[in-house]
Each structure stands twice: as C-alpha cells, then as structure tokens.
Chains A and B, each alone.
Chain A
C-alpha cells in the first residue's frame, strides 16, 4: 500500500520525489546515530547478560524513537527554509508546494525508509527455503511483521502531517502527542510475540491518527460522504 501511495501521489512531481528521498535520508541518519549509541552501550556492557542486553535494546529503541522525532523536527525546519526560498522565487508569489503536501511527503519518506529497513531482510529471507517458527516461535512471524510494518508506515505518514501542523501553529501539545504516540507504538511492540497486545492497539492508534490528520488537512465528514457516494 505504501508503494502505491508513492506511485499515485508522489511520482508525478519531481519536487516531491526529492523531498521524499531527503526525508528517507533524514530517517536514515537518525537511525545511524541511534544505532551508534546502542552499539557503544553494548560494547561497554557485559555481553553475556541476557536481561541487560534486552534492557539495553529497549533503551536503544526508545532513544531511537526520540531521535527520529528530533530529526523530523530538523527536517521540518529545513523544509520551512526551502519553502521560503521557493516562494520568493516563484513567479506568482506562492510556492509550488504547500507545507501540508511537504508534511505528507516527508511522512511518507520516513515511513518508507523505516518500513524498508524493517522488512527487506525479512522479505529476502522469505524467498528462500525454510519453515516459519520452527524453534517454537510464532508461526505468524512473517504475517505480523508485514502488518506491523504497514501500520508503521502509515503512522509515520500521519505523524508527519500532525507534526508539521503542530509546528506550524505552534501547538506544542500536538507535537508532544505525536512523540508519545510513537513511543507507545514502539513500546507496544515489546509485547511481541504476544501479537494481540501490539498489533491491535497499533491499528487503533493508527485509525485515530488518520482521523486526526484528515481533519487537520481540511477534510470533514461531509467530504468523506461525498467522496464515497461519488459526487463531485
């Protein structure tokens, strides 16, 4: 689904593609830094202690979430500057791309990159021979990974919109809400392999974020109804 989002909405406009790739790049850099921190922490600690390692991993995840949000903020700043430049240079005084579109594209960029990183090795392994969950792990590993990744991609998209909107209107609580939501989703994933605990709330959160973003982008229940009934 994320890929189709890309094709239908982003691939037309070259500027959006650039913003997308830059967004992916920012996410990548945040991942790099967070893994650097984790790596240092692991090296500095005892590799034999299971619980400690797991605890460190959890710490790494949380730190990474915070870093991701920080980079989203940095990216927002960069895009603001770019928009000012574009507005100043455009012929008719308004920018060829609005901040909401940028928010959407940035969110998709983040999401695509995080999804790709989560899934792609799995996919490559899935092509090869093997049995899922042969050592007593869950048999639904691939399925749940796929769903989780998809929900994360969508979430990143919506968070992008919400985050940028919050920054635009200086509503700090919106930004804080995004951060907390991200932390929650990641935290929920700790419940794996108890999939009920992680997938269902994640989807609920995603639905909530989707509705919120939709409302923020100017949609309304009326629009939705008209769209569904295929009226103009």
Chain B
C-alpha cells in the first residue's frame, strides 16, 4: 500500500504537467487549493522536479511557501468531509450486521467450522482451547499470506485474466449463493412463506444487477450499496463459522499483518502497490469502496481514464492487494480521489480463499482541473476493512454479556480509530493500513467493557443510580 504513495507522485506528476497549461491560464479561477496541492505534491517528488516543464516550475517557486500550509489546510478541511463519507458506509455495514445477528439466529448457531480452522474449541481444558485457537489463527493467517503472495505474483507476471476470472467467480459466489442463504434465513426467522420461483427470480435479479454494478458501470449509490451488502454478508459468514477465541485472535493477528504488509518495504501489499503504480494502473478497483465516482468528462486525454474504467470492471474482493491509486494520475481530467485500498478477502467455501491485502488509506486531495467541485473528491476504503470492522462489532453483539453496551462501545471505538487513521493519512500522505488502530481500539474496548463496565452498569441499573 505504501507503494501507492510512491507511485502517486509520479502520477500526479504526469497529471500536473498536463494540467499545468490550463491551470496557468485559469489561475484566477482555479481553486488556489488545487494549485497548491499540485505544487505541494510536486514538491514532494524529486521526480516531479525533473519532469516539470518550465511553466510549472515557475509557479512552483511562486507558491512554494504557501503550499505547505494551504495543503494542510486543504487536507484538514476535506478531511472532515472525507471522514464522514467513510463513517456512513462503515456505520451502515455494522448496523446491517448487528441487526442480522440480533434477529436471525442462524448466524449465532454453531453449525460447524470452516476447513481453514480445523481445530475445535470444544475442549476440556482451557489450555487446550487456547492452543487450538492459536493453531486455527495461524492456519488462517498463513492461508491469507499465501493468497496475497499468489496474487502479487500473478499481478507481477501480468496474468490479468487469471485474476479477473478469480474475482468474477468469487463475486458470483458471494452475490448468489450467500445472499440466497441469507434470504432463506431471514424468511425462516420471520416465518414468511415463499416459493422457490419468487426466490429464484429475486436472487437472480439481485445477483445480476450486483455483478453489473460492481464489475462494470452503474449508479454510484447502487454500487456502494452492493459493496456494503457484500461486506456485511462476508462478515456474517465469518461470524458464524469462526469459533470464539479464534475469531479474536484472527482479528488481532490480521491487524498486525496488515501493519507489516503495508509498511515493510518487502511486504506483499506494498509490492503490489508499487507495481501498479509503475504500470500506471488502478489496482483492482473492484475491491474498494469508493465514495465518489470520478467520471472525468472534459479532459483531453481519455486513455488513462478508459484504461482505468476497463480495469475497474473486475470487482476484486479477493484480490489481496489493493492499492490506492491517485486517480489524479490516472485521469487527466483531474478527478482525484483519494483511495484507500484495502484488500482483504477470505473466501470461505469451495473456492480457495484469497487473502486480502490491505492497502493503506491514501488521502490526497484531488486536483481537479475541470469544474468538478473539489468537494466531490472521493475516498476509497478497502472492503476488507469493512468486513473486519463488522466482524468485530458483530461478534461483540453476538457473544457479549454486556450486549448493547459492548456493541455501542466497540462501534464508537472503531469510528474513533478510523478518524485517527484518516488523520495520520492526512499527515503522512502515504498508504497506511486502516485496520490496526481501529481493531486495537475495538478489541480493547470490547474486552474492557465486557468484563469491567458491564457489572458496574448492571449494578447501577439495578439500583437505578445514575452517573
């Protein structure tokens, strides 16, 4: 994921040079922010220096002092909006998961375990249980790592067809099979009679529209809704099939792995990001939740945009690595969006699970040359993050003794973690893993609330004291 940041400058660079003549002409009209951003971005790259033509360099010098502050200001200003743009889908996903857990009992029944977690937790001694869960978590993590590396290798050797096919199959499975099960369980819970034909029709429609929306084009809201639904379904599957201690261990280890994979120079995710940046491509955009659609319409160069769009056709939930790419670089038309890419995908089921890589969130204000409102810049967050946040909150609501208190506490903790991650992103402007901070907060709050706060609140409520 960090690789992205390295590539981004290059992208921006390319974009800047092209945009510059226009900017130059329309200086007064342009958002000074945009220019500042351009300049600051360029300043950040040594490459930029070498590639800029004369004009940009003049401008660069002129505004070089203002750049820093303006840039920060820009990021802060848009920071709040972006944070909210991410709060809403994360909240929605969590709400869906919690609502399902609370109402549909299917997802809290223990019907067995996945093949990836072969050791059971119904053991006699605590030590044995701990050992089993550690082994389970280790197996799961190694599967994820293997998948990530596999994806990186495939990507490096340009086996795009394989990756696309993989993605399509996994999204097919998710959209049809899992939602069929989900629908069935919801009907069972509410005792709604339904015939197979209607169900088939519904699922078929749902699935096909989903495939189109995610892999090809579709209204933004619909695509976002589908992404949220898919994340929720995935999270529900995780919650159902992972035993207790294993789930918590996996959450903890995944966030550590995320941290390592994104920030270490040799990490697979980072390599993926760098490769994608070198090739000037978006990396499996289908695995990312994007809050705005960047349809650049008035730029001269359509090619990068067209390329990107075609690449966006595959929804890669499974793709391990998602890199955030500076859309600026891609689109000459100037829609930047900040992308966070996180990939996380563990597929349960007949198809091999693919590890998800988590891309850091990259926040870069987008410079838009067009009349596109800078406010419309989008943020992208990897779907894996959605899934794991929802797993945490869902598990909290399913198994906590404190019930709603714990759920609420975890929810707030995750949101605060997301805020902090975004803040760090704005400060560092590199790809960052979005998981560790939030998951850490969430875990701490879960265990603390469950064990400490719950008895306290119980006693208070019993006596009706108020604090």
- Distance in angstroms from A209 CB to nearest chain B CB is 15
Residues of the A chain whose Cβ atoms lie less than 8 Å from the Cβ of B449: 32
Which residue of chain B lies nearest to A122 when distances are taken between CB atoms in the complex?
B461
Interface SS of chain A: helix
Could you tell me how many residues of chain A have their Cβ less than 8 Å away from some Cβ of chain B?
54
Judge if B413 is at the interface, Cβ distance under 8 Å.
yes
Which of the listed residues B416, B459, B467 has the most CB atoms from chain A within 10 Å of its own CB? B467
Cβ-based interface call for A28 (8 A): yes
Residue of B nearest to A17 (CB): B84
Interface residues of A (CB under 8 A from B): 14-15, 17-18, 21-22, 24-25, 28, 31-32, 34-36, 38-39, 42, 53-54, 57-58, 60-61, 64-65, 68, 85-86, 88-91, 96, 113-114, 116-118, 120-122, 124, 141, 144-145, 148-149, 152, 185-186, 189-190, 192-193
Among the listed A96, A117, A141, which residue makes an inter-chain contact with B464, where contact means beta carbons less than 8 Å apart? A141
| Nearest-neighbor residue (CB-CB) of A16 within chain B | B80
Find the residue from A58, A64, A89, A193 having the highest chain B CB count within 10 A: A89
> Given contacts A61-B467, A118-B461, A120-B408, is CB(A89)–CB(B76) below 8 Å?
yes
Q: Enumerate B205-258 residues with CB–CB distance to A below 8 Å.
A: none
Min CB gap A150→B, angstroms: 11
- Complex contacts, A39 vs chain B, CB 8 Å: 451-452, 455-456
- Counted as pairs of residues, one from A and one from B, with CB atoms less than 8 Å apart, the total is 119
CA distance A42 to B452 in the complex (A): 11
Report 12 cross-chain contacts, Cβ distance below 8 Å, ordered by A residue.
Answer: A32-B452, A34-B467, A35-B456, A42-B455, A58-B465, A60-B456, A61-B460, A89-B72, A96-B77, A116-B408, A144-B464, A149-B466
Chain A positions within 8 Å of B403 at CB level: 121, 124
Are B448 and A152 in touch, CB under 8 angstroms? no
Contact indicator A14/B416 (Cβ below 8 Å): no
B405 within 8 A of A: yes
Q: A22-B419, A144-B464 given. 11 additional CB < 8 A pairs?
A: A28-B409, A28-B412, A28-B413, A42-B455, A57-B459, A61-B460, A61-B465, A90-B77, A118-B466, A121-B404, A152-B466
> Are A18 and B72 CB-contacts (below 8 A) given A57-B460, A64-B467?
no
A60 to B455, CA, bound (A): 12
Known A-B contacts A89-B69, A89-B76, A91-B73; the reply to A36 vs B464 at CB < 8 A is no
